[in-house]
Structure 1
Amino acid sequence: MHDFGPEQPSRIVTELRDYWNSLRQGRAVPNRSDVDPRGIRRALDYAFIIERIAPGAARFRLAGRHLIDLMGMEVRGMPVCSFLNPASRGQLSDVLETVFKAPQIADLHLQAGSDYARPHLKARMLFLPLKSDLGDVTRALGCLISEGDIGIAPRRFDLAHAEVNAIFDGAKPMQPSPSARGFGEEAQGWRGNKATRERTQAQATPAASAETPEERRARFKVIGRDS
């Protein structure tokens, strides 16, 4: 895989996208069962297949060696958002849901800041929708490929730019938004509003129920007659 040189990410993304298009054969979305690892031999180390498990959420079913190297561990069964920093996970969730719901293609540009023994990294992440054996679009073929030395794992990224494309030429793509996940304003609060999250947690867990009898007694002040 190292013979691709500096243009490796774009070439891997193009190769995987061309392979996915070849599987369609006039259909909007190919089946998961159509995917043959031999057809993506050169991209196999960077490729993955994910499964939608909730609105805006998916986990890895299969993943190549490069993803394992980035995370420093086996990633099968892990959520896709594991590769992004918390501040970018809401955006990823919005984009990911459009891949399954529209369905459509998503191409993400990622970057990881430099730190001790962790050089700056740029990466591309591609999502291509697939149908499950039941005929619903709950799978996706994709790839994650970074440029440069990985350094010490795990490496997590910020989402710098996301591009969504309709499957058919001339069609208008679905733009990512929290409503696409079906949560509306609650999704926005989960993404970036710390006060909303804390208020929701407080409402869900009354303070009185968490106190012990000793803690409740400590809140009372004894007042004498002369006070």
Structure 2
Amino acid sequence: MLGSGGNGRDIVSMTDREKARRLAPIRTVEAYWRGLCGPDQVPLRSQIDPRGMENALENAFLAERIAPSLAKLRVAGSHLSDLMGMEVSGMPLSTLIAPSDRDRLGQAIARLFNDPAIIRATLRAEGGFGKPDMEAQMIILPLRSDMGDITRALGALVSTGQIGRTPRRFKITQIEIEPALDPALAPAPVPVTEEPAAAPRGLSEEQAGFTHRPQPAAIERPLSATARRAPHLRLVVSNDD
């Protein structure tokens, strides 16, 4: 640790600084994802631009849901391929996880797409001959497809330690699942439409209802000859001039 003044207030832990430096790709990917989030929905896969997280590309990956609890790596940074000693694009994400913990990852993957949720995992590599001690941190963030369904994911994986001479798989030592969106920002349910209430009367008086009053029956009388005669026009000529 380095310090100044001898009072301990300005002591900086080199361990914390190194840890922050290692985890920078994860923070970069998460910050980029949050910058694309809408008020009540996760970003679209088509919105992802590698230039927005250029400093984290070797640790980043894109995945696609292929089963309720299974995701396939569509694009993966070089660091993930280095861990496995082969190209991992097209392989299940669970390939990076020890078989004993794949069900645990699968349960988290299901929630990531269904809730949606964010996955944060602390990992430790399996030991053995040619497998030095290694730890890793991983984050997985949900994305929407162009159809609008949540079936894509953006993630990052950062490891600490030597990779060794054989492919590395990780056990899950800790996994955290948190809501991807703020529940307070979720869209409100649409209320059921009800019959409109009567308009308020205010200062108007109540109007009386209209009732049709039948007219009295007319008394039939025989028509005179003059009344039966059809009306006609008469030409009147004046010779006074």
Structure 1 residue 96 corresponds to structure 2 residue 96: no
1:176 match: none
Q: State the TM-score, normalized to the length of structure 2.
A: 0.66
Counterpart CA distance in 1 for 2:181 and 2:81 is: 33
Letter in 2 for 1:166: P
In the TM superposition, residue 74 of structure 1 has moved relative to its aligned partner by 0.5
Please give the per-residue CA displacement for 1:51-78, whole angstroms capped at 9, x wherever unaligned.
Answer: 0001100100000000000010001110
In the TM superposition, residue 13 of structure 1 has moved relative to its aligned partner by 1.5
Distance 1:103 1:170, change over 3 A: closer
Q: Which secondary structure state, in structure 2, belongs to the residue aligned with residue 42 of structure 1?
A: helix
1:45 match: 58
Q: Is the CA contact 1:69–1:153 (under 8 Å) kept in the aligned structure 2?
A: no
In the TM superposition, residue 169 of structure 1 has moved relative to its aligned partner by 4.0
Counterpart CA distance in 2 for 1:90 and 1:73 is: 24
Q: Provide the alpha-carbon RMSD of the alignment.
A: 1.5
Letter in 2 for 1:141: L
In the TM superposition, residue 98 of structure 1 has moved relative to its aligned partner by 0.4
Q: Which secondary structure state, in structure 2, belongs to the residue aligned with residue 92 of structure 1?
A: helix
Counterpart CA distance in 2 for 1:128 and 1:100 is: 9
1:85 match: 98
Matches within 5 A, 1:104-119: 104-119=117-132
Structure 1 residue 122 corresponds to structure 2 residue 150: no
Please give the per-residue CA displacement for 1:172-218, whole angstroms capped at 9, x wherever unaligned.
Answer: xxxxxxxxxxxxxxxxxxxxxxxxxxxxxxxxxxxxxxxxxxxxxxx
Q: Share of identical aligned residues, percent?
A: 42
Structure 1 residue 8 corresponds to structure 2 residue 15: no
Counterpart CA distance in 1 for 2:93 and 2:136 is: 15
2:168 match: 155
Q: Is the CA contact 1:9–1:124 (under 8 Å) kept in the aligned structure 2?
A: no
The structure in which a higher percent of residues are helix is: 1
1:21 match: 34
Q: Is the CA contact 1:9–1:123 (under 8 Å) kept in the aligned structure 2?
A: no
Counterpart CA distance in 2 for 1:118 and 1:25 is: 43
Q: 1:165 aligns with which of 178, 181, 191?
A: 178
Q: 2:153 aligns with which of 131, 137, 140?
A: 140
Q: Is the CA contact 2:130–2:166 (under 8 Å) kept in the aligned structure 1?
A: no
Unaligned 5+ runs, structure 1: 172-227
Counterpart CA distance in 2 for 1:87 and 1:23 is: 35
Counterpart CA distance in 1 for 2:183 and 2:41 is: 14
Letter in 2 for 1:152: R
Counterpart CA distance in 2 for 1:162 and 1:53 is: 22
Q: State the TM-score, normalized to the length of structure 1.
A: 0.70
Q: Is the CA contact 1:9–1:145 (under 8 Å) kept in the aligned structure 2?
A: yes
Larger Rg, first or second structure (1 or 2): 2
Letter in 1 for 2:138: M
Unaligned 5+ runs, structure 2: 1-16, 185-241
In the TM superposition, residue 9 of structure 1 has moved relative to its aligned partner by 3.8
